[in-house]
Amino acid sequence: MRAVTVQAPGEVRVEEKPDPEISAGDEALVRVEESGICGSDLHIFHGRVPVEPGFTIGHEFVGTVLAAGADVERVAVGDRVLGCFHTACATCVSCLRGDYHRCQSGQTFGHGSKLGDLQGAQAELLLVPRANLTLRLVPEGMSAEVALFAGDVMGTGYHAIAHAGMRPGDTVAVLGLGPVGLCAVQAALAGGAVKVFAIDSVEQRLAMAAEFGATPLHLTEEEPKRAVRAATGGLGVDVVVDAVGDPGPLAMAISLARDAGTVSGIGAYAGKGEVPLGLAWLKGLSLRLGLANVIAHVDRVLALIEAGKLDPAPLVTHRMKLDQVAEAYELYDRREALKIVLTP
């Protein structure tokens, strides 16, 4: 089979690899119909997340079950399925609490040996462990490029809002309008937010957030803090989502939240820097951080997409072939694409 591997920072290529085979009862083999390129793949592309040369990358996928082990009960050969970006065991302490994203034996697709040594989805075939928990049926009539959002990007945007405990009638601000931020905008509106401020410096992203029903605010050409204060009677918003994942945006999120409000940090905080914890304490804020628990949300997210309350379709800006993957990563790296889907 053909698979996309990372060779060195800035270099991905398509390689011929042996077809994977099922070796455990809870595994399924999937013929990939479409896979996505994600922001976290860019960290691998640049070498910020080290992955062994020759390792297959990618963790967003839709495909058809080609074979299934004896213990796989929830999907069958021939089913069209989508995957979550990681696996979970269902029996460890974290899983029993429903914290699948903290599973003690969880594996993340396409992130090298440090994150579970599980080969990735930008390939023709994919071996899926823990298939009962990792895979879901694609609802009738849903396109592959829409369904693949449920197990990662939309699941993460949804988590940012759900984890914040947002309630109908709340006001929300979302910092950073990449795919996850735009999905968080949709999730806030679907959850009954009365006003969503969408903050970024890229015009097209602001325009898309406005189309979804948010109030766009340009990060540098407008004064987001002043605008948010003015629109909320000087109070600030109930919930702020930081979809960037840096100390700077987190500091801004703290300043935009109302007293006793919630800041939900969904971006991956890699860098170091100053965060005004004193202000967060003084305001009595709740901080909710961490990787998204997509397995816990995936069924709800699929139902919301099916009902038309969430719609990731406008986020797909490019459709490319697996063989064009080098070009695809360069395009994505130049921020000229929101979501690129690859077909074998």
Q: Where do contacts with Zn ion occur on this chain (CB under 5 A)?
A: 38, 40, 88-89, 92, 95, 103, 152
**Closer by beta carbon to Zn ion, 46 or else 226:** 46
The answer to whether 181 touches 241, Cβ cutoff 8 Å, is yes
**Closer by beta carbon to Zn ion, 61 or else 197:** 61
* Minimum gap (Å) between residue 107 Cβ and Zn ion: 10
Q: Which amino acid is at 144?
A: A
* Minimum gap (Å) between residue 98 Cβ and Zn ion: 10
The answer to whether 186 touches 212, Cβ cutoff 8 Å, is yes
**Closer by beta carbon to Zn ion, 40 or else 171:** 40
The answer to whether 108 touches 116, Cβ cutoff 8 Å, is yes
* Minimum gap (Å) between residue 291 Cβ and Zn ion: 10
Rounded to 10 degrees, what is the CA torsion of 152, 154, 157, 159?
Answer: -70
**Among 313, 308, 343, which Cα is nearest to 149's?**
313
**Closer by beta carbon to Zn ion, 95 or else 275:** 95
Structure tokens at 168: 């109908």
Structure tokens at 225: 């803090």
Give the other-Cβ count within 10 Å of 21's Cβ.
10
Residue position matching structure tokens 């197990």: 151
* Minimum gap (Å) between residue 142 Cβ and Zn ion: 19
**Closer by beta carbon to Zn ion, 89 or else 177:** 89
* Minimum gap (Å) between residue 186 Cβ and Zn ion: 17
